[in-house]
């Protein structure tokens, strides 16, 4: 596929890989927000925010997002915006649950792969993650993210209940984290230190002490999932401790969809998508601008 080929050429010609940006972020104590999108208009809103702030961008698709797009279209759309803006824009397959799903993404031209083996027995998780690292190198993919401690909440949504109360064993164990990274060979690790997938009626402080203990084990690139609904100052504290990537999905879904509902309410007779969707694009852009300010990635290209 032409755009797949262009994506690979981009990776070679452009020089800085996603892993290079992780290294820069770690050193300079900022992070990349991973903006999960499932339609071209959400992607456009994020890209407009990146262009306005000269921020490198990391786009994510969950399995649901990718199935709606198809992985190839997601790659093509990102390649289009990369060419259109000149921004470094990377595409990560988020929460891939099997080797086959991530192999399809690698073949389509994704720049990064997240294998979420958190529901598998640890040995099986490690073995599949090792195979995905080999697959990634074959496709010149610089970042494989691993995960063994599940981030509660399950999925990106507005959860109409109070947040689950977390206790000690819910948090990622520092030594288990180091063992997992060493045995699997993953480049980055999704950890559980208190963020939750989705937005709940209540929040609770991140376990920064545990994050510090994990970071002190020398794991280079740490990732937080469940960014939406987490106070900015908590996230900035986590970035100071070595987090280089923070995933965001619910905030962008809420911005896009609630704005569309409002537009439909205000314009009941309107049927043209080109009239109904611009406000949703603008709302997603505003959320992305807020996130770029929180993680500090402006002017970092
Ligand atoms: O993988 C995606 C993120 O973890 C999304 O979490 O919907 O709470 O922002 P969020
Ligand atoms: Zn996640």
Of all helices (H) and strands (E), which one includes residue 196? none
Q: Is the CB of 227 under 6 A from ligand 1?
A: yes
Residues 6+ apart with CB under 8 A from 170: 152, 192
Give SS3 for 294.
helix
Per residue in 219-238, pLDDT (tens digit) is 999 999 999 999 999 999 99
**Distance between CA atoms of residues 129 and 47, nearest Å:** 30
**Distance between CA atoms of residues 288 and 45, nearest Å:** 8
**Distance between CA atoms of residues 60 and 80, nearest Å:** 16
Per residue in 81-129, pLDDT (tens digit) is 999 999 999 999 999 999 999 999 999 999 999 999 999 999 999 999 9
Q: Report DSSP state, residue 162.
A: P
- Pick the ligand that lies closest to the CA of residue 64: 1
Q: Give the residue, out of 114, 145, 191, 225, with the most ligand 1 atoms within 8 A of its beta carbon, to mutate for a pocket test.
A: 225
Amino acid 159: pLDDT = 92
Amino acid 186: pLDDT = 98
Spell out the alpha helix ranges (H) of 15-140. 18-28, 40-53, 63-69, 71-85, 99-108, 122-138
**Distance between CA atoms of residues 38 and 61, nearest Å:** 7
Residues constituting the chain: 301
HSE (side-chain half, CA atoms, 13 Å) at 179: 10
Residue 1 CA, ligand 1 centroid: distance in Å: 30
Amino acid 120: pLDDT = 98
Amino acid 3: pLDDT = 53
Spell out the alpha helix ranges (H) of the chain. 2-14, 18-28, 40-53, 63-69, 71-85, 99-108, 122-138, 174-184, 208-215, 232-240, 250-266, 273-276, 278-295
Q: Give the residue, out of 34, 36, 113, 252, with the most ligand 1 atoms within 8 A of its beta carbon, to mutate for a pocket test.
A: 36
Q: Which residue ranges in the chain fall short of pLDDT 50? A: none
């Amino acid at each position: 596929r032409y755009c797949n080929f262009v994506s690979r050429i981009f990776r070679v010609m452009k020089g800085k890989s996603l892993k290079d940006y992780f290294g820069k972020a770690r050193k300079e104590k900022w992070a990349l927000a991973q903006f999960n999108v499932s339609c071209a208009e959400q992607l456009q809103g994020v890209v407009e925010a990146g262009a306005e702030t000269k921020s490198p961008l990391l786009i994510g698709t969950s399995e649901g997002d990718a199935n709606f797009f198809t992985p190839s279209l997601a790659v093509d759309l990102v390649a289009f915006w990369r060419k259109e803006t000149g921004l470094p824009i990377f595409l990560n397959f988020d929460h891939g649950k099997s080797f086959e799903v991530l192999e399809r993404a690698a073949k389509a031209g994704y720049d990064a792969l997240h294998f979420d083996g958190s529901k598998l027995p640890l040995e099986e998780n490690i073995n599949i993650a090792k195979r995905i690292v080999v697959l990634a190198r074959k496709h010149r993919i610089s970042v494989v993210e691993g995960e063994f401690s599940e981030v509660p909440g399950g999925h990106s949504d507005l959860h109409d209940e109070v947040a689950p109360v977390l206790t000690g064993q819910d948090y990622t164990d520092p030594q288990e984290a180091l063992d997992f990274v060493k045995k699997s060979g993953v480049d980055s690790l999704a950890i559980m230190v208190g963020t939750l997938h989705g937005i709940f009626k209540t929040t609770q402080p991140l376990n920064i002490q545990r994050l510090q203990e994990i970071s002190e084990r020398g794991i280079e690139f740490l990732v937080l999932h469940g960014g939406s609904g987490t106070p900015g100052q908590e996230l900035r504290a986590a970035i100071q401790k070595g987090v280089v990537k923070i995933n965001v999905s619910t905030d962008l879904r809420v911005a896009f969809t609630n704005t569309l509902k409002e537009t439909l309410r205000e314009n009941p007779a309107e049927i043209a998508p080109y009239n109904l969707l611009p406000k949703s694009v603008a709302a997603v852009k505003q959320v992305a601008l807020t996130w770029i300010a929180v993680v500090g990635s402006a002017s970092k290209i």
